[in-house]
Amino acid sequence: MSSAKWALGLATAVALLGLAGCGKSSGGAGVTPPPPITIAFQSAPPTSVLVGSAPVPITAVVTNDAASRGVDWLLTCTGGGDCGSLMPLHTDSGSATIYTPPANVSGSSITVNIVAFASSDHASNVPASLSVASLNGNFSGTYVFDVSAASGGFPYHFAGVLVADGSGLITGGELTDFAPMPDPITSGTYQVGGDGRGTILLTLSSGSTVNFSFVLLSSSHALLNETDGFFGGTGTGTIDLQTSVAAPSGAYAFVLSGNAVDPTFTLPNQPEALGGILNIDAPGTISGSGSVADENLNGATTLNAPLTGVVSQPDSLGAIALTLSSGLSAGPIQLTGYIVDSKNIKLAGFPDPNTGAGYYVGGSALGQGSAAGTFHGNSVFSGPNVYGILGQRQSMTAAGEGPFWASAAWAGSFSADGAGHLTGGLADQNVGGVVVIDTLAGTYSVDASGTGRVTATTNFGSAGPGPQFVFYLTGNGGPTLVLDTDATGTGGGIVYPQASGAPSFAGAYGLKFDAGDGTDASGQMNADGVAGTLTGLSSTDAFGGSAPLMGTFALSASTRFDGTLTLTSLGGVVTNTGAFYIADPTQGFFIENDGVQVSLGYFAAQTALTQNSHGARAQRRRPLSRPRVAKAPTRASRRH
């Protein structure tokens, strides 16, 4: 109650008492005013929440309200825009209204004001202020991104650099796709939600826009998928914080995949995968010493080919140009590389701008560091491993209809014994929906040259010959790159050392899921290692937004165990049945093996993200004075 109203009520009471004194004395007591109506929160609302986080119930209790009219609620926020939602806007005393934070905020945070009014007297009110903070500060700096994608079965690749300001704006960068000249990034926005999932919108100087959904594993690494059908396709990839733009030197293992353009232009584009070791043994020069290349062109292989080339000096964004000569089928390899650090370069390839022949490919080059040139003898390749490979297969259809492109995926495990034998392996192979699930064994040989190139021949336990691999070692405990070189399919991937002991699958993970030319996704999921369930949210291809991610798994002592992943896309809810391969508690693969489509997922553990230190502080609560009551909700507004 305001002081003016209270004073007026007191004067009236005094006057009435005076009149009573002039009449007959009855000895009765004077008139006692009713106690004032008060309102308070049942428990204090939180002072801060994250964007996109779970709804928050808020309850207020009104006392001394003889009419029991309950509580009216008001929601506002600083700077306008999306404040989130508060529903319902009228509750009974002691019943909760629900505040749902917005999915995005401008800048690093906004301040939301929630006021509870006693419906019988709006002068009695209690406000709460809370900060709704993004995690945009966890994504700040210069990042290198790369995307492997497909359109109508036709694979392509693009890569680039973006600059994030820590508050939701993209301030620069560039993107390289099908041509040697990059397309500058003129502007853009991004948002990081409470579970580490986020969105990025890039605007290019050409007028094109590119949309990504992503999930942060840490402030320096994220998994992504494109959600706009850029170039008419869908794809997945990674984002990595750039920590160096120094000119690369020394030996790198590399694997690239995509498609090749026939130099004679008499054949249609064909699935292509390349792998090898490139040794930058002098500034800007790959002389050929310690360098080698392998190729799988739709099942036709060229192995152990010489490799020479030139490398430009990096520009301010860490971009380099590489021209590699190898004598392979489609001629010189033209690449743009984006340096992440001294051990990691993302590569995007395009045909020779003069001849039109060459490779639409992309992938990674991983530095061998001090281990370069030291890989002698089979003993340098030993221990248990888990691998995942994604690729393509092309088949000719009826006359006049052209080739048919089918996706292919491989995932499995094996142990290298250090003496040339692969033992105890398990494998899932899915080529165009034709699935093999079997054991795996074989032999391998480390090249005597010391480059780290390893050739392997495998056999399934009952299904005949298995995939033929060439491995490229990086040493120093790092992952190994792998190229599939048999006629079953064409693809490249990565091999991770397997941790000892029984596999563990529990905690928070980020996921990227690639279904060839189907449903691609990124998301956040929580694995319950006891109940065998997966829960979370994902964003899929052009569907964008957020949709439930669900799954099951039957954890066992084996590296491989059965499970499902359920995602939502434009085509509806899709449950993918397959197998999980766990490399260690922090990462692993999921491969679909139900014959419906071809898909391969990679998941990795999330580290804790921190709220921005410069987020808005919660304001001190105080009752609203009478002049501000005009802003309280009306009955009409409460009906909406």
Residue 68 CB coordination number (10 Å)? 10
What integer pLDDT is reported at residue 609 of this predicted model?
Answer: 82
Banded pLDDT at 400 (limits 50, 70, 90): low
Phi and psi, residue 85, nearest 5°: -140, 150
User: Closest Cα partner for 473 from 601, 385, 392?
Assistant: 385
At residue 9, does pLDDT exceed 80?
A: no
- The residue with greater pLDDT, 485 or 621, is 485
Strands 48-50 and 121-133: parallel
- Side by side, the strands of the sheet bearing 85-87 are 38-41, 56-63, 96-100, 85-87
Query: Using one digit for the tens of pLDDT, what is the confidence trace for 455-500?
Result: 999 999 999 999 999 999 999 888 999 999 999 989 999 999 999 8
Q: Which residues contact 15 (CB under 8 A, 6 or more apart)?
A: none
At residue 640, does pLDDT exceed 50?
A: no
Reading the block at residue 50, the tokens are 């994250």
- Tell me the sheet residues that pair with 224: 214, 237
Banded pLDDT at 22 (limits 50, 70, 90): very low
Q: Which residues contact 282 (CB under 8 A, 6 or more apart)?
A: none
Task: Report the pLDDT averaged over residues 146-153.
Answer: 78
Residue 161 CB coordination number (10 Å)? 26
Query: Using one digit for the tens of pLDDT, what is the confidence trace for 262-308?
Result: 766 667 788 899 999 999 999 999 999 999 999 999 889 999 999 99
What integer pLDDT is reported at residue 618 of this predicted model?
Answer: 33
What integer pLDDT is reported at residue 265 of this predicted model?
Answer: 66
| Measured CA angle at 399 (ends 395, 401), to 5 deg | 65
Residue 369 CB coordination number (10 Å)? 15
Query: Using one digit for the tens of pLDDT, what is the confidence trace for 173-224?
Result: 999 987 778 999 999 999 898 889 999 999 999 998 999 999 999 999 999 9
At residue 584, does pLDDT exceed 90?
A: yes
What integer pLDDT is reported at residue 617 of this predicted model?
Answer: 33
User: Closest Cα partner for 461 from 437, 479, 482?
Assistant: 437
Reading the block at residue 27, the tokens are 């000895």
State the sign of the Cα–Cα–Cα–Cα dihedral 263, 266, 269, 270.
negative
What integer pLDDT is reported at residue 163 of this predicted model?
Answer: 98
At residue 167, does pLDDT exceed 60?
A: yes
Reading the block at residue 36, the tokens are 């004032």
At residue 543, does pLDDT exceed 60?
A: no
What integer pLDDT is reported at residue 559 of this predicted model?
Answer: 86
What integer pLDDT is reported at residue 229 of this predicted model?
Answer: 61
Helix (H, G, I), strand (E, B) or coil at 146: strand
Percent of the chain with pLDDT over 70: 85
User: Closest Cα partner for 160 from 223, 259, 237?
Assistant: 237
What integer pLDDT is reported at residue 338 of this predicted model?
Answer: 97
- The residue with greater pLDDT, 7 or 484, is 484
Contacts 24+ apart (CB under 8 A), 75-83: 75/99, 75/112, 75/113, 75/114, 76/112, 76/113, 76/631, 77/110, 77/111, 77/112, 77/113, 77/132, 78/110, 78/111, 78/113, 78/616, 79/106, 79/110, 81/105, 81/106, 81/110, 83/110, 83/112
Spell out the SS3 assignment of 513-563: EECCCCCCEEEEEEEECCCCEEEEEEEEHHHEEEEEEEEEECCCCCCEEEE
Q: 201 exposed, middle or buried (CB, 10 Å; 0-12, 13-18, 19+)? A: middle
CA distance 427 to 412: 4
Domains of the chain: 3-14+34-134+615-638 (2.60.40.60)
Query: Using one digit for the tens of pLDDT, what is the confidence trace for 74-123?
Result: 999 986 678 999 999 999 999 999 999 988 887 778 899 999 999 999 99
Is the backbone peptide bond immediately before 88 cis, with ω within 30 degrees of 0? yes
At residue 402, does pLDDT exceed 70?
A: no
Helix (H, G, I), strand (E, B) or coil at 489: coil
CA distance 20 to 453: 109
CA distance 353 to 340: 26
At residue 6, does pLDDT exceed 50?
A: no
Phi and psi, residue 488, nearest 5°: -65, -45
Query: Using one digit for the tens of pLDDT, what is the confidence trace for 345-390?
Result: 999 998 877 777 788 899 999 999 999 999 999 999 999 999 999 9
Query: Using one digit for the tens of pLDDT, what is the confidence trace for 301-342?
Result: 999 999 999 999 999 999 999 999 987 776 788 999 999 999
| Measured CA angle at 225 (ends 221, 229), to 5 deg | 150
What integer pLDDT is reported at residue 440 of this predicted model?
Answer: 97
- Placement of tokens 């041509």 in the chain: 179
Helix (H, G, I), strand (E, B) or coil at 136: helix
What integer pLDDT is reported at residue 4 of this predicted model?
Answer: 35
Do the beta carbons of residue 418 and residue 381 sit within 8 Å? yes
What integer pLDDT is reported at residue 330 of this predicted model?
Answer: 65
Reading the block at residue 287, the tokens are 């002389």
